[in-house]
Amino acid sequence: MIPTPELRAAYRSRTTSQRTWGYITTGVGAALTIGGATYLIINKHQHDDKEAAFQQQLARAKPGGDCDATTQTAPDCDVALKLALNDLDTVTSHQKYGWIAGGVGVATLGLGIVLLVTNDDPNRYEPKPESDVFGKLTLAPLFVRGGGGVVLSGELR
């Protein structure tokens, strides 16, 4: 059975739409995944810097440091320690954005791949052009007295 032109048009529209959405979701998913991973890498370097600054301030408060509680020689000790801890907490709390973007990106990328893999061929029901590479050639048996053979006849286009 040959599908009606309306059925072929609806089928083609559905499959091309699914292909388009597959490309879009795959692209968006890849971008989110790469963006999330990049954010985590950049944030990791900032986290390491803030961690080092906090550890440096913490070392100042240890016995023998210039912020030792018994001597208290530097006036900005408490403020500097609180600022370093606040900076470290801020950078640490921002890591969740990278993980969220990466997770949503991987899920979207997976959806896009599923849409592309499960899609049908939009031209599946379109009429196929007839091949005229060999034109109209026919093979016919030929029987003659004392023998026989095959005759190839037709026209080349």
pTM for the whole structure: 0.64
CA of 143: how far to CAs of 35, 129, 148, 149, in Å? 77, 35, 4, 7
CA dihedral 27, 30, 34, 40 (to 10 degrees): 120
What pLDDT score does 59 carry?
Answer: 84
- Counting Cα atoms < 13 Å in the Cβ hemisphere of 26 gives 12
Q: In the prediction, which pLDDT does 116 show? A: 94
Nearest-angstrom CA–CA distance, 49 and 87:
10
- What's the pLDDT score for residue 136? 67
pLDDT of residue 155: 61
Between helices 95-117 and 77-93, what is the axis angle to 10°? 10
What distances in angstroms separate CA 129 from CA 120, 126, 145, one per listed residue?
A: 20, 9, 42
pLDDT (tens, 9 = 90+) of the chain, 157 residues, equals 778 889 989 999 999 999 999 999 999 999 999 999 999 999 999 999 999 999 988 888 787 777 776 666 666 788 888 899 999 999 999 899 999 999 999 999 999 999 999 999 888 887 777 665 556 667 777 777 777 777 766 665 5
Q: Which residues, in sequence order, are bridge partners of residue 94?
A: none
Q: Give the C-alpha separation, 32 to 134, whole Å.
A: 52
**Structure confidence at residue 76 (pLDDT):** 78
Domains of the chain: which residue ranges? Answer: 5-128
